[in-house]
Structure 1
C-alpha cells in the first residue's frame, strides 16, 4: 500500500514537472519584426534577412512583446558580424554589453536573465557600442526562454503596421443617407508619418486625411470598383470601373489597385495637428449607379472645396455602412502611438431631415483579430469619439464595444460652392 502511494506521488511530481516544462517553452522574436528608434536609418529591417547593415549607433533596435506570466526570462541573440563588435542589450531595467563574434553564420549568444515581476509590455533594446568592421551586428532574432514565456504575445509576422481600428455609426432604420458630415481633430504629436485619419467612410469608399511624408499631407477620397478584383485595375471590366465625373482645382485623380481597385483622388494640403477639419459626402443614386462626391472645408478660405466626384457602377443606392477609421500604413514606425478624435457626425436624408449620429460601435482589422497586435483602442471623451493604435500599451476597447457621445443638437451649416 505504501509502495502504491509512493508511486502515485512520484507520477504526480513527474506530471507536474513535465507540465511546467511544456508551459515554459522557448520563443523566437524574428529579426524582421524589429523597429529602429528614433528612425530607421543606418540599419535595414526586412523579411528575408531580419536586421542587417546596422552601421550607425545613433539609434536603437527594439523588439517588443507582452508578458502575461511572471518569472525568470532568459535572453539569447541569434547574431553575427563581419568583424568583432560590441553592443548593449537591455530589457526590464537590466543591461549588459556583449561581444558579437566575426562569423559567417548566425551564432546563439546568451545575453542575460531578468525577472518579470508583473504582466505587461516589454522591449528588448539593442544599441551599438563599438565595431571593427562595417556593421555592429546582423540579427536574425531574439530568443526568450523561461517561465515568463507562458502565454507570451508578440507579432510573428513581417507585417509591422499597427492594427487598424474603426468607429461604425448606426443609422435609424428606413433612413436614406444622401449627405454624410463629420469632423476630425488630431492632437499635437499624434500626427505620425504614415497615418490615415478617415472621417466619412461608406460601403463604396472613404474620405479623410493622411500624413504622407515629412513635407507632404493630403486630403484623400477614394471609391471602389465593382467586381471584387483585389490587385490590378487593368483586369477590371470597363463596366465595373468607377468613372471620375469631376475634380477640384489642383486635385490629382487616377485609378488605384493593390488593396482592391477603384478611383482615387487627393489634394495636397498642409493640415495641422490641433485644428478641427470638416468633411462632407454626397450620394445620388441613378438606376444601378450612384454618384459620390466629396467636399472638404478649407478654413483659410472659409469655403468648401470640391475634391472629386465619382460614378460607381452596380450600386444604385444611398450611402450605407457609415464609419470612420484610424490606419497606420507605415512599416518603419508601426510601433509609434497614434490618436485621432472623430466627432459631430450627422446625416441628411433624401427627404431633408438632419440626424445626429451619437453612437459608434468599435471594430478592428485582421491584425487585431489574429492577436498579432494587441495595442489599440477607442472610446468617447470631451464630446468626441476617439481611436488610437500602437505604442505597445494595453487595449482599452474590444471588438463590438459601443461608445456614445453627448448630442450637440446643432446641425452643421453648409453652403456649398455653385458650379
Structure 2
C-alpha cells in the first residue's frame, strides 16, 4: 500500500484527523491519499482567494461552491473514491461527480473518518477531475475535508499529483508547471541584441499568466495579466548579490535605473532573487502580435547596461521600458530564452498558451542571426511529476508553450524543436533612433 506523508507544517493535525484506515478498500489494493491543499481549485463560482484553512483542510461554506480535485492516472483502470474529513455541530451531505457519474455521502457529527464515495472506471492515461460540493447541511454544521482517498486493485496503476508540502509544494503545485524555450545561439559571436515576438491566442490569457519573451542570463522581459482590469509589460535585472531581500544588497551591488520610458515604474524587487524591476501598465490584447527588443552592452567600466523596448508589431512602434546598469558585470548577451508561467495559485486550473516567433540576435558588428532551434524544458513542478499539464514545441514558423488546465497532451522535456525560417521578417531597426529616455 502506498502511504503519502502530509506536509511538515500540517502532518500532526492531519495525522490526527485522517489516520483512520479505509476499511472499504481491498487489502490487496494500492491506496493513495491526495491532499486537497495541493490539488484542489475553486472551480465554480470562480474564486480569487485561498479556500483552505491553516491546517490544509478545505471548509465548505456555501451549497453553490464546487471544488475540483485533480490527479493523473497512467493507464485505464477501476478506482474507488473516498473523502477523508469530518463535520462538527451537525450533519451534512456531500456530492462527488466524475464526468456523468455522481456519488453522495452523509457526513455525521463524529470524529474524522474516511467516507466511501463510490467506484469509477477511467479511460486513462490522463487527468481525472473529481468535483466536490455540499448539497445539504444543518445550519450549524461545519465541514472540513483534508484528502481524497483513491484505491485500486488493478496492477501497475499509478497516480501522479502533489503529494506533500515539502518545499512549499502545495503553493508551487497549485501555480502549475513553468515551461521554457532555450534558444540555440550562433557560436563564436558576441551578441548585443535579442529580438522576439509573442502572440497570445484569444482566451489563453487568464489572470496570473506571464509570457516572457526575452530572457537572458541576468534577467527577463515580457508581459503579464495582473487582474481583470490591468496588464503589464515587465522588465527585470537581477543583482549580482544573491538574496531574496533587496534591503540586504550592498550599495556596490545594486542594480541602478538609468532611464525609463513614459509611464514606466521602476523599483527594487525580491522574493525570487533581487534586483531592479520596471513595468508599464499597458492594455495588450490576446490575438495581437507584440515585439520585444533587449540590448546587453558593457559600459567599459566593469558594468553592463541592459535596455529593453516593446511595441505593437502592426503599429511599427517602439516604446522604451527601462535601462538598468548592473555592477560587477562585463559581458554581452548570453542565455537567450523564453518562458511561460502562472504566478496566481488560484488560477492554476485554467489553461494558458502563447506562440513565440521570429527570434533573432544581433552581434556587435550589426549582423542579424536568425534563431530557429530551441530546447523545451520545465521547472521542478514539471520534472518532479507534481503536475503533468505542460507542453511545448514548434508549429510551422513559431514555437509554442502551453501549461495549466490539466490537459493530457504532455510533451517530453528536453526535446529539441525547430521552427520554419522567417528570414523575410528579419528586423529592420534604427538602433540610433530608438528612444532612450
Q: Which TM-score applies when normalising by structure 1?
A: 0.89
Partner SS state of residue 175, structure 2? coil
The answer for the alignment partner of 1:280 in structure 2 is: 293
Write the mapping of 1:237-386 to structure 2, written as runs, cut at 5 A.
237-286=250-299, 287-298=301-312, 302-386=316-400
Change (3 A) 1:184 1:136: farther
Q: Which has the larger radius of gyration?
A: 1
Write the mapping of 1:146-157 to structure 2, written as runs, cut at 5 A.
146-148=152-154, 150-156=157-163, 157=169
Write the mapping of 1:94-133 to structure 2, written as runs, cut at 5 A.
94-103=101-110, 105-133=111-139
The answer for the alignment partner of 2:93 in structure 1 is: 86
- Kindly report structure 1 stretches of 4+ aligned residues shifted beyond 6 Å: none
Conservation of the 8 A alpha-carbon contact between 2:87 and 2:141: yes
Question: CA offset at residue 64 of structure 1?
Answer: 0.7
Change (3 A) 1:384 1:377: same
Name the CA distance, whole Å, in 2 between partners of 1:328 and 1:243.
28
* Structure 2, unaligned runs of 5 or more: 1-25, 164-168
Question: CA offset at residue 356 of structure 1?
Answer: 0.9
Conservation of the 8 A alpha-carbon contact between 2:211 and 2:339: yes
Write the mapping of 1:90-239 to structure 2, written as runs, cut at 5 A.
90-91=97-98, 93-103=100-110, 105-133=111-139, 137-148=143-154, 150-156=157-163, 157-159=169-171, 160-229=174-243, 231-239=244-252
Question: CA offset at residue 373 of structure 1?
Answer: 0.8
Question: CA offset at residue 128 of structure 1?
Answer: 2.4
* Structure 1, unaligned runs of 5 or more: 1-20
Name the CA distance, whole Å, in 1 between partners of 2:135 and 2:232.
40
Match of 2:429 among 396, 414, 419: 414
Partner SS state of residue 145, structure 1? strand
Number of equivalent positions:
396
Conservation of the 8 A alpha-carbon contact between 1:69 and 1:147: no
Conservation of the 8 A alpha-carbon contact between 2:320 and 2:436: no
The answer for the alignment partner of 2:35 in structure 1 is: 30
Q: Which TM-score applies when normalising by structure 2?
A: 0.86
Aligned-pair Cα RMSD in Å: 2.1
